[in-house]
Amino acid sequence: MSTQQEIRFSGFGGQGIIRCALITGKALSLYADKYAAMTQVIGPEARGSACSAQVVVSDTRILYPYITHPGILMALSQDAYEKYYQELSPGGVLIVEQDLVKLHPEHPGLSVWQVPATRFAEELGNRLFTNLVALGFFTAVTKMVTDEAMKKALPGLVPDRFLKINIKAFEKGYVYGLEALSEGRTAP
């Protein structure tokens, strides 16, 4: 079997979706001994509307850099959820923003997780940290990469003066994710 894993981060422009993919790709390729290729959908539509970035992860060199059968989808907006959840492979992991995404009643074959990332970010002082909360949650739930590697990847990808608060946001999401995981708190 292929050791390849495909992840899609999605939401609306301005939520820090691309940043999520950059941090994850950097953590995996520089601090987790994996190959990672990150691509993004670019275009004039990149602000305020649907936004998506993809990371392909592998133990060997990545030949085809785009995703075809994602195993993990993070959707931080209703549009992104509706647009992408059906492409998830059987057994796939779906992570959504709890307050922004109204889920369909059932997702057969998927493991569905909800995180109130925007609310947590606002509690930390600014909704700009939403992506880091979601990324912390992603790290705990998917176990794709260690929290240490992710935090190591932050310098250079978030402004220096906001590094500490971003780490705090990440940890908030991570701890919430560990709790959700241990309690098996999945949606149908």
Give residues with Cβ within 8 angstroms of 123, minimum separation 6.
none
> Which one of 43, 105, 108, 184 is in contact with another protein (CB under 8 A)?
43
Which of 43, 108 has the CB closer to another protein? 43
Least Å distance between CB 91 and another protein?
23
Q: Does 3 bind another protein (CB under 8 A)?
A: no
Distance CA 22, CA 65 (A): 14
Which of 43, 91 has the CB closer to another protein? 43
Query: Per CB under 8 A, which of residues 9..38 are in contact with another protein?
Result: 22, 25-26, 29-30, 35-38
Least Å distance between CB 55 and another protein?
9
Nearest to 117 by CA among 49, 169, 162, 82: 169
Least Å distance between CB 42 and another protein?
5
Query: Per CB under 8 A, which of residues 112..171 are in contact with another protein?
Result: 153
Least Å distance between CB 40 and another protein?
7
Q: Does 42 bind another protein (CB under 8 A)?
A: yes
* Beta strand extents in 49-163 (DSSP E only): 50-58, 72-75, 93-97, 111-115
Which two three-digit tokens encode residue 93? 């992991």
3-state secondary structure string, 150-163?
HHHHCECCECHHHH
Burial of 28 (0-12, 13-18, 19+ CB in 10 A): buried
- Where do contacts with another protein occur on this chain (CB under 8 A)? 22, 25-26, 29-30, 35-40, 42-43, 62-66, 153
